[in-house]
Amino acid sequence: MILSSPSPPPAVVEPTNWRAVYQGIESMRRDGIASNAPVDTMGCERLSVSEVDSPNFRFQTLVGLMLSAQTKDAVTAAAMKNLNARWSDGLTVHHIVHDIDEAELDKLISQVGFHQRKANYIKRTAAILERDYGGDIPNTLQGLMSLPGVGPKMSYLALQVAWRQTLGIGVDTHVHRITNRLGWVHTTTPEKTRMALEQWLPKEYWGKINILLVGFGQKVCLPVGPKCSVCRVNSACPEGRRVLRVSLASSTNITLCRLDVRAIAYPVACLTGEYLALVGCICCTAFSFLFFFSQYVKSPDKFFPLPDTNVTLGDEHPDDVKVKVKVEEKEMSEGESEMSSAAAAAAVAVKEEGKEADPQFMKQETHVKQEPMQADEETSGHREVLSAPSISSALSSTDAAVTSPSVSMASVTRSSKQFLTPSPPPVSASAHMHASESSPHPS
């Protein structure tokens, strides 16, 4: 059986411009927008309160590294402050093993991520250190990595800070993200990044690249939304060029989108306005038509007034009386023969019965008869005065009125009606005069 040996990691070619990029990041960390990063004041190497290069200093540095996983530097610093303040001489292996239980320890570091698991790791690590290492931390990579909750990154950094040994590159999430963005490596895990970097990065950079890129990642090359537009190395960064292209395209698209919206919205608004105006016009016209039609149905006389045929003779203006008389003449002409025969029959009946004529009736008949007489007098200069009205004169006047075209048929008809009516309404002579004057007298 042939066992295949594990394949070596693929060789990583040294980036051609990595030195220039490294110097650019250094300049940003020194006096640029990446200066004064949290790691510069709250890094794990700055959290110890004990004398440097002492066992307590090394243990506090290791505990700080264990707490910093998945936790911001400020939170890690606060938790370390609680632990160091718990005892007068600060955090020691002896205090963790004998003077505090896991629950209280968890409470002191409750603000960090995964604090319960970390409290358990710290408690077990302290017991191992007291039992196997005399209360100090191991000075080897294998010894550190054998401790609960201690990985390669913590081991390399602990060796570098506590024992001042740089055996490898401490690659945390910042170093892994930035080196991949810069195109220096193409890896998927921090450990693979460390191995890839160690193939080409000179050893004099191993000890300082961590704090350089951690601070740069905290201020500029953020995990989400890196500030590529102000980054001094964006021209040499593939990810930076991509982000800038996307940003430029997005802004252009937004502008085009706004322009498109305006280009569409304006005609739509115009068309909508015209449409609404047209609809309003139609509605107003229809409403007006319906309103006037309803008014016409209610009272058509308002729109097409008819001549008033009920005016009282003598009470209106002469012009109105003329109109009245004309209307009556028209009406009377239709029943002229009937009324004339009725009047003649009435006169004959009176004549045969020998009754004395009604004075009122005779007076009216006299007036009726005077109208043609007066007209004749005006033309011929002869005036006939009827001083003693009789049935014969009434008959003659009636006949004259019927036969003479100069006499108003309306007056004759009215007189006949009045004569036949038991209580006829009085008609003034002036009215008859007006009526006779209104009719043109033939010469």
Q: Is 153 assigned a catalytic role?
A: yes
Query: Which of 72, 81, 118, 153 is the catalytic position?
Result: 153
Count of Cβ atoms closer than 10 Å to residue 287 Cβ: 10
> Using CB atoms within 10 A of its CB, is residue 442 exposed (0-12), middle (13-18) or buried (19+)?
exposed
CA 380 from chain centre, in angstroms, equals 97
Count of Cβ atoms closer than 10 Å to residue 357 Cβ: 18
**Shortest Cβ 231–ligand SF4 spacing (Å):** 3
Between residues 196 and 243, which has the closer beta carbon with respect to ligand SF4?
243
Between residues 34 and 83, which has the closer beta carbon with respect to ligand SF4?
34
The C-alpha angle with vertex 244 and arms to 242 and 249, in degrees rounded to 5, equals: 95
The one-character DSSP state at 166 is -
**Shortest Cβ 225–ligand SF4 spacing (Å):** 10
Under 8 Å between Cβ of 408 and 329: yes
Give the residue from 304, 332, 314 showing the smallest Cα distance to 407.
332
107: left (phi over 0), alpha (psi -120 to 50) or beta: alpha
Give the residue from 372, 326, 373, 351 showing the smallest Cα distance to 419.
351
Under 8 Å between Cβ of 340 and 408: no
**Shortest Cβ 24–ligand SF4 spacing (Å):** 9
Under 8 Å between Cβ of 187 and 199: no
**Shortest Cβ 178–ligand SF4 spacing (Å):** 6
How far is residue 53's CA from residue 75's CA, in Å, rounded to a whole number? 25
Between residues 90 and 240, which has the closer beta carbon with respect to ligand SF4?
240
**Shortest Cβ 198–ligand SF4 spacing (Å):** 21
Between residues 65 and 182, which has the closer beta carbon with respect to ligand SF4?
182
Say which residues have a Cβ less than 8 Å from residue 192's Cβ, sequence separation at least 6. Answer: 9, 185
Q: What is the CA radius of gyration of the chain?
A: 64
Cα→Cα distances 212→35, 206, 415, Å: 10, 11, 135
Between residues 79 and 231, which has the closer beta carbon with respect to ligand SF4?
231
Between residues 246 and 259, which has the closer beta carbon with respect to ligand SF4?
246
**Shortest Cβ 94–ligand SF4 spacing (Å):** 45
**Helices 55-68/115-132 angle, 10° precision:** 150
Q: In the complex, which residues of this chain contact ligand SF4 (CB under 6 A)?
A: 178, 181-182, 220-221, 226-228, 231, 233-234, 237, 239-240
**Shortest Cβ 236–ligand SF4 spacing (Å):** 8
Between residues 248 and 349, which has the closer beta carbon with respect to ligand SF4?
248
Name the residues annotated as catalytic: 153
